[in-house]
Amino acid sequence: DPANTIADSVTAISGLVNVYYDIAIEDMPITPYIGVGVGAAYISTPLEPA
């Protein structure tokens, strides 16, 4: 079921983003981590090119 696969990917990405967000707040500016999260989302859930 593609919908479940996408939901699982989004859940996993959300978890990673939360971890990166926590690290970023402690140590570094947030922007690079947002970039990583967005990149992971595109890799995990291929979308049609804009």
pLDDT at 15: 74
Cα–Cα nearest to 44, from 9, 8, 7: 9
Cα 2-36-13 angle, rounded to 5 deg: 35
pLDDT computed for residue 38 by the predictor: 72
How is 34-48 classified by DSSP, letter by letter? HHHHHHHHHHHS---
pLDDT at 31: 58
pLDDT at residue 10 in the model: 79
The residues near 20 (Cβ < 8 Å, ≥ 6 apart) are: 33, 36, 37
* pLDDT tens series, the chain, 50 aa: 777 788 888 787 777 777 766 665 666 555 555 666 677 776 666 656 54
